[in-house]
Amino acid sequence: MRINTELCTGCKACLRHCPFEAIEIVDKKAYIMENCTNCGACIDSCKFGAIQKEEDTNQTAPELKPSSETYEGIWVFAEQHRGRLAEVVRELLGAAQDLAVQRQTYVAATLLGSDVAGLVEELFAYGAERVYLVENPELTLYRTEPYTYVLAQLVHEFKPEIFLLGATTLGRDLAPRLARRLGTGLTADCTALAIDPEERLLLQTRPAFGGNLMATIACPHHRPQMATVRPGVMHKKEPDYTRRGEVVRRSYEIPQKCLRTKVLEVVDQARTTVNLEEAEIIIAGGRGLGGPEGFKMLEEVAKLLGATVGASRAAVDAGWISRDHQVGQTGKTVKPRLYIACGISGAIQHLAGMQNSECIIAINTDPEAPIFKVADYGIVGDVHQVLPVLLEELKS
């Protein structure tokens, strides 16, 4: 949908007829928002003919065959907060390198912000061959609309084949808006990425139907192929700070309509957080612990092991431990060197968040529990009998 601002009088008739509340008045002119579904209900309501429907806009990506060479390159959104890269960026660059080898193309990072050029070397070190750098005071702190506008301009100009973003709070806000702006598909919360050797498409795997199965999704007709990837599921490669690459600087004038929101204040609040994604050792408890007292014993073991305490959704829902500790599809995805599952049966939703751990030890009374199918070592027994013995051994 497009508004002809010369004909629009700001009468608000279209607002009353829009069933999706996708129109707003800015400076006495109607403005179509991102949640517009192109239903056309507003067209007949406008007495001045100011609303038109465009079937082919310059914001919609053309339909492409998989063999088309029009689009190339694998891009990673270099999410940064106050000049510090998010950990998921390093993981995505590692995954992008593997995909690029199969597609015989380059890896690039898109870096947006203000005075963030100092991060370029780190992006090269983790695998980027090219960095698209856009610095603008309006990009200092993240806001959805200016970031979407700038990234869309970059995509239209340089045409990447694949665009990967982290499934972080920021990424989950930005990715769907950008995909809608580009007229392409998006697979959210992926846990695996691969290239189809025959069709040469990006295969994007994610949990589906409440985690009861894993779905593999492809986007054959539109570009770029877009996906958000859960932090902690991809292998982070060792950095090589001797690597060098190309820096492509761009400057875009961000329209005023994309600057409707303003960050008034950023409040830093100190609180205790559980950084499960970066933990080397995790000892996690489930329903088998019987109550919050069981987690006190887990905390004792964790202290001696230098571990972080995790939990299944059942334990969190029961109120035995806070949600910060939850591992699984609806919690955090982890990949520690050692994962000890205590009283966790191993529902597929939980396995989706920890099955890539290097070594898994499971303790459960049920020898048929699904957790034993992914465990490297299994102990069939009551966790209340096994943990005290482990505790005494660690103390001695």
Is 181 known to sit in a ligand binding site? no
> Is 349 marked within a binding site?
yes
Give residues with Cβ within 8 angstroms of 275, minimum separation 6.
308
Q: Which amino acid makes up residue 203?
A: L
218 is in an annotated binding site: no
Annotated binding residue 319: no
Q: Is 363 annotated as a binding residue?
A: no
Q: Angle 165-166-172 (CA atoms, 0-180°, nearest 5)?
A: 90
What is the rounded CA–CA span in Å between residue 175 and residue 155?
13
Which is nearest to 283 in space by CA: 357, 349, 338, 364? 338
118 marked ligand binding residue: no
**Cross-strand pairs, 282:** 308, 339
136 is in an annotated binding site: no
Query: Who contacts 236 (Cβ-Cβ below 8 Å, separation ≥6)?
Result: 87, 90, 91, 94, 126
Nearest C-alpha neighbor of 322 from the set 257, 365, 276:
276
Q: Is 386 annotated in some ligand binding site?
A: no
Query: Does 275 belong to an annotated binding site?
Result: no
Cα separation values, 15 from 48, 61, 261, Å: 14, 28, 21
Closest to 183 (Cα-Cα) out of 38, 72, 301, 307: 38
350 is in an annotated binding site: yes
| CA distances (Å), origin 163, targets 90, 152, 182, 249, 378 | 15, 11, 12, 19, 40
Cβ contact 308:274 at 8 Å: yes
Nearest to 91 by CA among 184, 191, 12: 191
- Which position has the token pair 């507003």? 42
On whether 191 is known to bind a ligand per the annotation, the reply is no
On whether 104 is known to bind a ligand per the annotation, the reply is no
59 assigned ligand-binding residue: no
- Please indicate if the annotation marks 67 as binding a ligand: no
Q: Is 346 annotated as a binding residue?
A: yes
Specify the pairing of strand 246-249 against strand 281-285.
unpaired
- The structure tokens 């390093």 sit at 90
- How do beta strands 192-195 and 202-208 pair? antiparallel
How distant, in Å, are the alpha carbons of 67, 93, 126, 238, 246 from that of 243?
Answer: 31, 14, 9, 12, 11
Q: DSSP string of 117-154?
A: GGGHHHHHHTT-SEEEEEE-GGGSS--HHHHHHHHHHH
Please state the residue numbers annotated as binding site.
287, 312-313, 326-330, 343-350, 364
Please state the residue numbers annotated as binding site for FAD.
287, 312-313, 326-330, 343-350, 364
